[in-house]
Amino acid sequence: MNSKLWSDLVKEAFDKTLIVTKFFCALHLTTTYVFTPAYVFGPSMLPTFNISGDYVLAEKISTRLGKVGRNDIVLIRSPEDPRKIVTKRIVGVEGDDVRYSLNPERDDTFETIVVPKGHVWIEGDNKYMSRDSKNFGPVPYGMIQGRIFWKVSAFFDVYIYVSQVIRMFNVGCVFEISCLMALGCFLLTSACCHIFH
């Protein structure tokens, strides 16, 4: 009897460990090859993103297929410090003539550059507070880590509204707990993905 009980406990532990392992493998594959959550903060992408931070989702498939283009907002490895990932907007792709201001405070100091093959020209939306291609030139396409496709802050606003409606009608807390658990998983996943604009 004891050996059967022990055998059942080991089997149950193994089954649960296998489920958890599969979950983390799927999570790793998804965030490496499909999409990843990130927390972006800093002044260079004002007003698109808040200086105090926004949660975003970035997909990686377009990047791998070479489909990221003009006006896309991307996560990109910083040419100045490759350990950092920054958030910028693509202003020009290879072959484009890009006209940029040398001094954002003065409108009469412009230069033009042709973006070389295999490169992109990136800029922050806040031209007064951004270190971008105006400072370090065109960036190799291979440094792009993902294309931002969703600002998740809107999801939090929807959640707050839904939870207020649930409380107002006293429907119960099962849905609210489910939403909180989903948000918790998302925040936990993105906790390691802090991105500076």
pLDDT (tens digit, 9 = 90+) per residue, 130-171? 999 999 999 999 999 999 998 876 556 656 655 665 566 555
User: Which tens digits make up the pLDDT trace of 58-78?
Assistant: 999 999 999 999 999 999 999
Range of the domain at 164: 37-196
* CB 100, CB 111: distance < 8 Å: yes
Other beta carbons within 10 angstroms of residue 137's beta carbon come to 13
Write the DSSP symbol of residue 34: T
Cα of first residue to Cα of last residue in the chain, in angstroms, is 62
Q: Does residue 154 sit in the same domain as residue 94?
A: yes
Whether 190 has a pLDDT exceeding 60, the answer reads no
For 122-126, what is the mean pLDDT?
95
* CB 148, CB 131: distance < 8 Å: no
Q: Does residue 20 sit in the same domain as residue 47?
A: no
Q: Does residue 128 sit in the same domain as residue 68?
A: yes
Q: Does residue 138 sit in the same domain as residue 94?
A: yes
Total domains in the fold of the chain: 2
Q: Does residue 12 sit in the same domain as residue 79?
A: no
List, in sequence order, every residue forming a beta bridge with 85; answer none if it has no partner: 77
Q: Point out the residues that are catalytic.
A: 44, 88
Q: What is the pLDDT of residue 158?
A: 57
Tell me whether strands 85-93 and 119-123 are parallel, antiparallel or unpaired: antiparallel
Q: Does residue 7 sit in the same domain as residue 52?
A: no
